[in-house]
Every structure is written in structure tokens, then in C-alpha cells.
Structure 1
Amino acid sequence: MGSSLGLCPGKAPTPSQLFLFFTVGSDVQPGTEMEIIVEETMSARDCLKLMLEKSGLPGDTWHLRKMDWCYEAGEPLCEEDASLKELTICSGDTLLLIEGKLPLPGFLKVPIWWYQPGGPSGHWKSHQDQVDGTPSPSGVWTATSTQGENRTWQPVCPKEK
């Protein structure tokens, strides 16, 4: 096994800077990663803003996740005011820009599903309540679904102790 060495234009990062890769979404494809050099004292919030600017993404409904050891989206970086160093982000790490705003500290956004038998056809009806204190314009949270439909669940930030 050998090592690869690459030459990049520009100045090398200083000891207080981090060389990070980032990509949009959790489905990382080769060649879609972007690179950025930031100070290790930069907050996660400022790093997110910088990455959004560099990738040309609008809005403020995004959050960062660190890619885990098996190249999947890890836990969200919940402490947006913490520095990258405090969050144990290291040079060479890959961060994922994921759409969706994190809940405020101390609040959880919990989808709740329950099933009720349908009419004579035997179909099941699925209802969902989004328990975050903001009802839909109609005031009702319901959706129809097929039995056994796959759901994607994402972890939320643990409450601070």
C-alpha cells in the first residue's frame, strides 16, 4: 500500500485551520464533494453559512452532519454556537449539508403514526401528527398511506443536561 500526495494551488492551511470536505445531502457520490479551509475556532453556524454560500444554496433551513466511519450521515451538529474544535471536527472530515432546520434546544419534533382499520375494503388508513406545536393551516394532520410503507427516521439532538 502506498500513499497519494496531491499538489493544490494556494497556501497550505495553518495549524489553526481545518481543511474540510462537504457535500449536499446524505447520498455522497464521488466527485460531488467540495473543499473549504476554515479556522478551527469558527462556530458550526458560521461554517454552515460559509458552506451554503460556496455551494450557492439559498435559505436558512439547513443543518450540518458529520459523515460517520461507514460514509453515512452521522449525528447532527446540534450545538451551532460551539466551535468546530469543540465539536471534534478535524482536518479531512466530511460534513454533510442536510435540508431541514434543527429544532430549538429543549424541543423535539416527533412524528407520531397510528393505524386504524379502514372501511369494508380492508385498507388501512394512516394518520400523522407532527408534534411541534405548529398545526397545518387546516388544523388537521392526516395523511393516507399504504400499509407497510417505509419511513425514514432521523435522530434529533439530545436535550442538554
Structure 2
Amino acid sequence: MPPVCLVWVCIRSVWSYCTVYSTSIYTSENSCLRPIDRNGKLLCPVPDNYTLKEAGLKMGSSLGLCPGRAPTSSQLFLFFAVGSDVQPGTEMEIIVEETLSVRDCLKIMLEKSGLLGDAWHLRKMDWCYEAGEPLCDEDATLKELTICSGDTLLLIEGKLPPLGFLTVPIWWYQPQHPSGHWKSHQDRRNCTPSQGGIWRAISAQGENRTELQPTGHKEK
């Protein structure tokens, strides 16, 4: 059904507006109204008890009549996606209680995404559409972390450390012979920087090493 151009008086409720445009396929009991942005993306459903003014709708706003109920006053409508490279239109949708813990929300999203294992965590997408800080306190509720309807959460691979612990990168300095070969492990125990050495970032699995040239040399 094409989007509806809004010309209703602002004091009318969204539920009344939805009832007017209900069809034999969509009724007021199983449908909701969702604003459509300039790019054609369906936004968060508008609660039925909102007036059009409370929903922030203006003359000329576009609405989509969609299947499914709008969230109640105690529920959140969230978008979520796997990974930080989110392509437009690939987000999934979910309605959860605002008192749901981050841990339980993560489990539900993993199940809906068809992912297995517990080596995942959630991050909230920030205003510039990038992965923000991780939701570290997995026992906190979504409400306590000020997660709101319409927010996008990202499923990022990697298990978070326990509360009170930090994950920090470790750089392993490996001196190099003039011939270009690495020195023995015994020589590498000497942590004093020398000319021609290379800093190597070592992951937990020993892969994806990155080389950095030292910027200077200090002598004691």
C-alpha cells in the first residue's frame, strides 16, 4: 500500500487515523503506522495512544500502514544488525520490554539472527552511524542504559571481559639482525630498544600482526 500523505488534524490520535485507513488485510488490531524518512526507510512505529502532534508528525509527513502492533508504553522498538558495516535496509527489527537486561536482549537478537555461541556483545550505533561504546554492564536493563525506541544496536563478535577488567593490546618488541633475520627468543628478552627493531602487535590467536617502526631511540 503506498504511503499516506498526512492531512489529518493534529489532535486526532494515531489509533483513530490507523482505523480510518484500515483495510480487509490490515485492521486496527494488527497494524500500526510508521513514519517514512526521506530515504524511504520505515521508522519506529508510533504508539497508538499518541496524538499526531505528540508523534512529531507534520503536514506533508509520510506514513506507512504496516502489519504488526506498535510497542506499548513499556516496550521498545529496536533495530539491530550484525557487525559494524551496516548497509541501509539490512537492519532487523524487534520489540522488547524496556526492563529486559542487556544479556537477555543479546540472546534474543542472536537467536533471531541465527547466530550461535556466546562470543558476542552489543554496541549502540551512534549519531554518525558507527559502532559506539559496548554495553558492558550486561545485567543492566535497557531502560537503565537509556536505550530508546528507534535506536540501533549492533551485534559485534567478541566476548566482553568481566566487570572490573580491561582488554588492552600488548606490543611485542622484536629486535632484528642486520641480515634481516629475527634474533633468538633469548635475545628478545632484552626489552631495551635498538636500532632497526620492529614493534609487532600480537593478537590473542597470534594472527593479524601489524608492524610499527619505532619513532626514536633513547640511551641511558
The answer to whether the superposition gives a TM-score over 0.5 is yes
Secondary structure of 1:111's counterpart equals: coil
Deviations 1:67-93 (A, max 9, x none): 001100001111111110100000000
Q: Measure the CA separation in 1 of the matches of 2:207 and 2:114.
A: 35
Q: Measure the CA separation in 2 of the matches of 1:118 and 1:88.
A: 51
Alignment partner, residue 57 of structure 1: 115
Matched, 1:44 2:108: no
Matched, 1:27 2:27: no
Alignment partner, residue 4 of structure 2: none
Matches within 5 A, 1:10-159: 10-120=68-178, 121=180, 122=196, 124=198, 126=200, 128=202, 145-147=210-212
Q: TM-score, normalised by structure 2?
A: 0.57
State the AA in 2 paired with 1:54: K
TM-superposed deviation, 1:4:
3.1
Q: Percent identity?
A: 76
Q: Measure the CA separation in 2 of the matches of 1:110 and 1:129.
A: 10
RMSD of aligned alpha carbons = 2.4
- Rg larger in 1 or in 2? 2
Q: TM-score, normalised by structure 1?
A: 0.76
Structure number with higher relative contact order (C-alpha < 8 Å, ≥ 6 residues apart) = 1
Gaps of 5+ in 1: 131-135, 149-161
CA contact (8 A) 1:113 1:129 kept: no
Q: Measure the CA separation in 1 of the matches of 2:138 and 2:199.
A: 39
Q: How many corresponding residue pairs?
A: 139
